[in-house]
Amino acid sequence: MLNKRRTEVNVLGYRIERVQKFNERGEVSAHWYEVLAPESTYVLGTFAHRAEAEREIVSRELRALQRPAA
């Protein structure tokens, strides 16, 4: 099986990639979206839909704003 990754969009420094999984006949058997951390390739989450991935990024940033500064 082969996985193919493609950057869909950058949101607030985070990268959303669409990952497609191909079967032995070369057909897409599954796909999902991954959110990658800014300036790294660390995967923060996996989502079925791009909108879910975008909401996660906005939620993470809002939570970060609510934390008191150290």
CA gyration radius, the chain: 14
For the whole model, what pTM was predicted?
A: 0.86
Domain tally, the chain: 1
Give me the domain span that covers residue 27.
Answer: 2-66
pLDDT for residue 68: 75
pLDDT for residue 67: 79
Q: What is the pLDDT of residues 23-44, one digit of tens each?
A: 999 999 999 999 999 988 899 9
- Of all residues in the chain, what percent carry a pLDDT higher than 90? 81
Query: Mean pLDDT over all residues of the chain?
Result: 93
Cα separation, 62 vs 70, in Å, equals 17
pLDDT for residue 49: 97
Which structure tokens are listed for 38? 């800014």
